Amino acid sequence: MLPVKEAQSIILDLVEPFDTQLDVEVVDLSATSDRILASLVTSPLDFPHWDNSAMDGYAVRYCDVKSCNAEQPAVLEIVEEIPAGLEPQCSIQSGQAARILTGAVMPTGADTVVMQERTRREENRVFILEAPEPQAFVRHQGSFYKAGRPLLQPGITLGAPEIAVLAAAQCTQLSVYRRPRVAILSTGNELVTPDQPLKPGQIVDSNQYALAAFVALSGGVSMVRGIVRDDPELLREAIAQAISSADIVLSTGGVSVGDYDYVEQILAQLGAEIHIRSVAMKPGKPLTFATFPSLAKGESGHRRRVLYFGLPGNPVSALVSCWRLVQPALSKLSGLRQENWGPVFVQAR
């Protein structure tokens, strides 16, 4: 039996990550949630796009207000009101101010915003009661990022924060890796589907549903093949079909040493190279890992090694094996950066 870390290392060494050209698709920004970015994204423009106010208040010239206080306020003429979304019409001269709202474009001539809580307004005049810092509450053009600067690196999963950045930068078409195709099949004469009545000796096949959920949550596309009886010819046909169309095949059951455990011999007949037969892990000990070097092709004709995981039939064992060994392989295949391959561990108290 192999130690878990050694088994994981063997598996990961045999995973061929998606090709940055052949396994990429271009999708709309609205369809990028949970997709893996395939290429570097640079900003086509500065952000913010222009100098704007970070507060509701008054846009002023710092030199007009730098020495004021509550006893000797600076009194300025209000020459314009600037809401967000409109372009300023006036240039601020000495002794003038513009009423400005959060996010509005700074008018020419103004370099500082005084928040409204530190002012008093009387008709078209504003009294500045406290001297601000120079350039206070001004978000300058390009202060978050400049045009041409790298925004997002390839190999990351696009979530809400990343999508917000892409939208703000007006990146509407993104190159992402395609989703891995994962074939799922359950083996065993005793298995029935959840909608069938149970007869003595039968059990419900929960594995195909659990593994399909696991694949979806891991960013893959599940291809559920259903239940395959313990018949060598049926198993051979099902496995051959699975490896011809999938990147990864997950089967449950048939990998122990019982009289009806045919999976390993069928894998050998189909030309697989078997790398792992059991892992020092409980639950999850009876696990077969094999590869098919040249039986499948990528979507663009690229020959790709197919990964085969023969998982235990016990549902808990199957899921633990997936979490510990399949998920890292799926992550590497998908194009994720290396620091995101492994499962997450937490310290129990």
* pLDDT at res. 303: 60
| pLDDT higher than threshold 60 for residue 302 | no
The residues of the chain that CATH labels 3.90.105.10 are: 24-44+149-177
Query: What one-character DSSP code corresponds to residue 132?
Result: P
- CA 141 vs CA 119, 132, 146, 147, 231: distances in Å: 26, 21, 8, 10, 69
List, by residue range, all CATH 3.40.980.10 domains of the chain: 4-21+179-340
pLDDT, tens digit (0-9, with 9 covering 90-100), for 128-174 = 999 999 999 999 999 999 999 999 999 999 999 999 999 999 999 99
Do 7 and 323 meet the contact criterion of CB atoms below 8 Å apart? no
- Could you tell me the two tokens for 312? 């235990």
Fold of domain 52-139 = Molybdopterin biosynthesis moeA protein; domain 3 (2.170.190)
β-bridge partners, 251: 185, 310
Region 68-90: mean pLDDT is 97
What would the pLDDT profile of 98-134 be if each residue is shown by its tens digit? 999 999 999 999 999 999 999 999 999 999 999 999 9
DSSP at 324: I
Above 70 in pLDDT, residue 300?
no
Strand partners, 303: 297
Confidence of residue 258 (pLDDT cuts 50, 70, 90): low
**Type of residue found at 6:** E
- Do 290 and 311 form a contact (C-beta atoms < 8 A)? no
Residues 192-205 have pLDDT tens digits of 999 999 999 999 99
- Is CATH 3.90.105.10 correct for 24-44+149-177? yes
Query: Do 333 and 248 touch, CB atoms closer than 8 A?
Result: yes
> What per-residue confidence (pLDDT) applies to 294?
57
Q: Are 119 and 58 in contact (CB under 8 A)?
A: yes
Percent of the chain with pLDDT over 70: 95
Find the distance separating the first CA and the last CA of the chain, reported in whole Å. 30
Check residues 182 and 254 and name the one with the higher pLDDT. Answer: 182
Integer Rg of the chain from CA: 31
Residue type, 94: S
User: Does residue 282 have a pLDDT over 50?
Assistant: yes
Q: What tokens does 259 get?
A: 């009289």
Span 33-57, mean pLDDT? 96
**In whole angstroms, what is the distance from residue 179 CA to residue 70 CA?**
63
d(CA 222, CA 229) in angstroms, rounded, equals 20
pLDDT at 210 over 90: yes
Quote the CA–CA distance of 29 and 337 in Å, as a whole number: 21
- Please give the structure tokens belonging to residue 122: 């009387």
Output DSSP code: residue 149: -
Going by the DSSP 8-state scheme, the letter that residue 47 receives in this structure is: B
- Over residues 233-250, the mean pLDDT reads 94
Question: Would the pTM of this model clear 0.85, i.e. be above it?
Answer: no
Greater pLDDT, 299 or 92: 92
Cα 24 to the chain's mean position, in Å?
15
Of 103, 97, 101, nearest to 63 by C-alpha is: 97
pLDDT at position 36 over 90: yes
Question: Which CATH architecture group holds 4-21+179-340?
Answer: 3-Layer(aba) Sandwich (3.40)
- For the chain, give every residue range classified as CATH 2.170.190.11: 52-139
Q: How far apart are CA 205 and CA 337, in angstroms?
A: 34
In the chain, what is the greatest distance between 2 CA atoms, to the nearest angstrom? 97
**Type and span of the H or E element at 59:** strand 57-60
Question: Is the CB of residue 129 less than 8 Å from the CB of residue 118?
Answer: yes
* SS3 of residue 244 by DSSP: helix
Q: Is the pLDDT of residue 273 over 60?
A: yes
Give Cα separations from 163 to 5, 134, 180, 238 (angstroms). Answer: 35, 34, 22, 40
